[in-house]
Amino acid sequence: MSRSRAHHTNPSRQRLPHRLAAPVEVAVVGGGLGGLAAAVILAERGAKVSVYEREQFLGGRAGAWTDHLADGAAFEMERGFHAFFRHYYNLRALLRRVDPELRMLVPLADYPLVGPGGLSESFSGLPRTPPFNLLALIKRSPTLRLRDALRVDDTLGRALMAYDPEATVARYDHLTAKEYLDRLGFPPKARQMLFDVFAHSFFNPEEDFSAAELILMMHFYFLGNREGIVFDVVDGPFSAKIFEPLSAYLAERGALVHRGRGVEQISAASDGRHTLTLEGGERRRADAVVLAVTVPALQAILERSPELGDAAWRATLRRQSVTLPFAVWRLWLDRPVAAERTAFIGTTGLGMLDNISLYHLFEDESRAWADAHGGAVVELHAYAVPEAADEAAIKADLLAQLHAVYPETRGAAIVEERFLLRRDCPAFRPGEGRDRPRVITPDPGLFLAGDFVHTPFPTALMERAVSSGVLAANMILRRHGCAEEPLWSVRPRGVLARWIYGPPTSAA
Ligand SMILES: Cc1cc2nc3c(=O)[nH]c(=O)nc-3n(C[C@H](O)[C@H](O)[C@H](O)COP(=O)(O)OP(=O)(O)OC[C@H]3O[C@@H](n4cnc5c(N)ncnc54)[C@H](O)[C@@H]3O)c2cc1C
């Protein structure tokens, strides 16, 4: 991380003692990135941490588990390809615990986008300073002329560069991303290549995605950070590179990581402590609880814990929801793809296909398989999949698109395949911006973490999961008079925010 480019969000809270004076027992429910981030910080500070993870593997939606190919060879299957952006400061700080030089991260040279009729965009080589990155992109984009850019709705265009945590929600959360983009008035091809693809990457369909969340995403990924939008990938399975090392790191600090131990119910006692009931009925006690599960899992725990929190908070959590399903299809092909192909491309306007990643170009296990078999390991993703689409229809569509984009795959036989259709990513619907759950809850010993939880600085996806986990740990440290873990952010507001909305009004 280049910290000189990052904003330090909590500098005044680091002069207190680093370690907890007395052992505090903390239960972390959920072993995804949010839960593990909280667990790592608290274990480092001397808390007695117990992580309860329902699955046998850690990592949640970024997790991986052992599977076997037909010839008996073991491999690690993942929930899907992940992009590790260079402005994921807090995620990177977590990964440095197990890989101080971040050697696991392989930089990609570009973030190419491919559209219908051979349309393409590239995000490599842009200036790093906003708004010059946007101006340079417009200048060289084949789908957009400066003349077109000047015709866009001025107010909405400026709103993109004026992200503000309060004003953006107040002014744009009632609109869908589709309505916002329709009114913005970009030429259709430019809109498709620069915006539609972007909106879709957050798993939510444009017609049911808050415009305020889209503006936040544009700010976080492109207009508000100086690291650029080109990202890194992990050179091995996430289990081997991230989650097993994190588990060992926690064990070295006395934390207990329980796999296959889902939490069913939580109750608070009058002394402020909590009792967790695990699947199977066993009970465990804790001074504080970090709940870092998915939205449906949180709602299920809440249903079984009728006295947790208060009525308003429970109603807020009941209103959260998941977005449409997404599909991940990994294919082992019997022949290579063309030599000029890149590790990853994003796609738009090509049926259900959202991206193609060539695992054998960056991941060690897949590279070994491709070398040994003269083949290729390809992963296709489809986000915001219509509910009516079944596995056969999704596969037929994705394969047709793969053949169109990489014609050399037309004659390839599929030697092995794994298909995942899941529905557990949070929805960010219009009108819900103010209703986003916070890390703190009405119960002073209970905290939330996860990629659906509000953070007071711009974040998304993995970086939001980790940042909220660190925020939860910091709340516990603060309660016990300890220094907080530093948290880092991209620019808290857009370059035009002061000009349009005045000085900041929130704690961003
Ligand atoms: C296919 C795909 C591609 C993605 N690509 C990217 C990307 O490129 N870049 C990016 O930044 N993000 C990406 N994401 C999003 C990213 O994976 C998530 O934002 C992040 O992993 C969420 O972490 P989390 O800790 O909030 O939740 P999760 O990872 O969902 O963790 C929640 C954990 O809680 C556990 N749990 C549930 N119920 C219980 C219970 N009752 N008791 C105990 N444990 C329980 C679950 O098993 C899980 O391990 C992608 C996601 C998917 C699915």
CATH number of domain containing 205: 1.10.405
In the chain, the number of structural domains is 2
Q: How close is the Cα of 62 to the center of ligand 1, in Å?
A: 6
Model confidence pLDDT, tens digit, residues 60-80: 999 999 999 999 999 999 999
Nearest CA to ligand 1 atom 49: 60
Residues 165, 24, single domain; the answer is no
Nearest CA to ligand 1 atom 53: 61
Residues 172, 249, single domain; the answer is no
* Ligand 1 pocket, residue 470 CB under 6 Å: no
* Ligand 1 pocket, residue 80 CB under 6 Å: yes
Q: For a substitution probing ligand 1, which of 61, 239, 345, 423 has the most ligand atoms within 8 Å of its CB?
A: 61
pLDDT band at 363, cuts 50/70/90? very high
Structural domain contains residue 248? yes
* Ligand 1 pocket, residue 30 CB under 6 Å: yes
Structural domain contains residue 279? yes
Is the pLDDT higher at 105 or at 227?
Answer: 105
Q: What is the mean pLDDT of residues 8-36?
A: 91
Q: For a substitution probing ligand 1, which of 84, 263, 461, 471 has the most ligand atoms within 8 Å of its CB?
A: 461
Q: What is the pLDDT of residue 142?
A: 75
Residues 246, 213, single domain; the answer is no
* Contacting residues for 361 by C-beta, under 8 A, at least 6 apart: 341, 342, 343, 367
**Ligand 1 atom closest to Cα of 326?**
1
How many CA atoms lie within 13 Å of 243's alpha carbon, on the beta-carbon side?
Answer: 26
Of residues 439, 456, 464, 398, the one with CA closest to residue 202: 464
Asked whether residue 183 carries a pLDDT value surpassing 70, the answer given is: yes
* Contacting residues for 261 by C-beta, under 8 A, at least 6 apart: 52, 53, 54, 278, 279
Structural domain contains residue 210? yes
Of residues 284, 230, 265, the one with CA closest to residue 113: 230
Structural domain contains residue 287? yes
- Cα 234 to Cα 242: distance, rounded to the nearest angstrom: 9
Residues 196, 241, single domain; the answer is no
Q: How close is the Cα of 32 to the center of ligand 1, in Å?
A: 6
Structural domain contains residue 475? yes
Residues 298, 443, single domain; the answer is yes
Q: What is the mean pLDDT of residues 244-248?
A: 98
Residues 291, 433, single domain; the answer is yes
* Residues facing 283 on adjacent strands: 277
pLDDT band at 1, cuts 50/70/90? very low
Q: What is the pLDDT of residue 3?
A: 52
* Contacting residues for 239 by C-beta, under 8 A, at least 6 apart: 57, 58, 59, 63, 64, 65, 66, 76, 78
* Ligand 1 pocket, residue 67 CB under 6 Å: no
Q: Which helix (H) or strand (E) holds 327?
A: strand 326-333
Nearest CA to ligand 1 atom 38: 297
Structural domain for 442, as ranges: 17-61+237-319+428-482
Q: How close is the Cα of 61 to the center of ligand 1, in Å?
A: 3
- Cα 213 to Cα 202: distance, rounded to the nearest angstrom: 10
* Ligand 1 pocket, residue 61 CB under 6 Å: yes
* Ligand 1 pocket, residue 32 CB under 6 Å: yes
Mean pLDDT of all residues belonging to the chain: 93
Q: What is the pLDDT of residue 445?
A: 97
* Residues facing 378 on adjacent strands: 331, 358
Residues 139, 214, single domain; the answer is yes
Structural domain contains residue 231? no
Q: What is the pLDDT of residue 11?
A: 79
Nearest CA to ligand 1 atom 50: 82
Domain boundary among 221, 248, 265: 221
Q: What is the pLDDT of residue 138?
A: 75
Model confidence pLDDT, tens digit, residues 114-160: 999 888 888 888 887 777 887 787 777 777 777 777 777 778 888 98
Q: What is the pLDDT of residue 118?
A: 84
Q: Among 191-195, 245-249, 318-322, 375-379, which is the least confidently predicted range?
A: 191-195
* Ligand 1 pocket, residue 465 CB under 6 Å: yes
Structural domain contains residue 258? yes
Model confidence pLDDT, tens digit, residues 252-308: 999 999 999 999 999 999 899 999 999 999 999 999 999 999 999 999 999 999 999
Nearest CA to ligand 1 atom 37: 293
- Cα 477 to Cα 480: distance, rounded to the nearest angstrom: 5
Q: What is the pLDDT of residue 506?
A: 57
Q: For a substitution probing ligand 1, which of 51, 293, 298 has the most ligand atoms within 8 Å of its CB?
A: 293
Model confidence pLDDT, tens digit, residues 450-495: 999 999 999 999 999 999 999 999 999 999 999 999 999 999 999 9
Q: What is the mean pLDDT of residues 45-62?
A: 98
Residues 433, 314, single domain; the answer is yes
Residues 203, 264, single domain; the answer is no
How many Cβ atoms from other residues are within 10 Å of residue 44's Cβ?
Answer: 18
Q: What is the mean pLDDT of residues 361-383?
A: 97
* CA–CA distances in Å: residue 477 to residues 23, 271, 276: 11, 19, 21
Q: Among 98-112, 116-130, 152-166, 313-327, which is the least confidently predicted range?
A: 116-130
- Cα 453 to Cα 228: distance, rounded to the nearest angstrom: 25
Q: What is the mean pLDDT of residues 413-442?
A: 96
SS3 200: helix
Q: What is the mean pLDDT of residues 12-34?
A: 92
Residues 298, 155, single domain; the answer is no
Q: What is the mean pLDDT of residues 188-216?
A: 87
Q: What is the pLDDT of residue 228?
A: 86
Asked whether residue 4 carries a pLDDT value surpassing 70, the answer given is: no
User: For 393-424, b where at least 16 C-beta lie within 10 A, e where not — what string?
Assistant: ebbebbbebbebbbeebeebeebbeeeeeeeb
Domain boundary among 162, 186, 221: 221
Strand locations in 423-508 (E): 446-448, 488-489
Structural domain contains residue 454? yes
Q: How close is the Cα of 59 to the center of ligand 1, in Å?
A: 7
* Ligand 1 pocket, residue 401 CB under 6 Å: no
**Ligand 1 atom closest to Cα of 452?**
26
Residue 307 · residue 345 · CB < 8 Å: no
CATH number of domain containing 435: 3.50.50.60
Q: What is the pLDDT of residue 192?
A: 82
* Contacting residues for 339 by C-beta, under 8 A, at least 6 apart: none
Asked whether residue 508 carries a pLDDT value surpassing 50, the answer given is: no
